[in-house]
Amino acid sequence: MNKEEIEAIIGKLRNGEMEQYEVTKAEFPAFREVLIKQKDKEQIRGEAKKGGGVVYTHVHE
């Protein structure tokens, strides 16, 4: 997964095209690196899953 793909996923979460996205344990470091640079990173919530995966959702406030 590259930076552009991750930014596209975050954009879809942000604009409501996608309700949630699950990141595998292997994808997590790359996803997090891009996520922490987002201006609205506080609105993107991750819920850890058993086995190391994380499900991200965007909180529309």
Query: What is the per-residue pLDDT across 6-58, written as a single tens digit (0 to 9) for each?
Result: 999 999 999 999 999 999 999 999 999 999 999 999 999 999 999 999 999 99
Domain of 19 in residue numbering reads as: 3-58
CB 7 within 8 A of CB 37: no
Banded model confidence at residue 60, pLDDT cuts 50, 70, 90: confident
Domain count, the chain: 1
Contact between residue 35 and residue 41 where contact means Cβ atoms under 8 Å apart:
yes
Residue 37 contacts residue 6 (beta carbons within 8 Å): no
Retrieve residue 48's tokens: 């850890």
pTM of the predicted model, to two decimals?
A: 0.89
Higher pLDDT, 49 or 60: 49
Name the helix (H) or strand (E) containing 20: strand 20-23
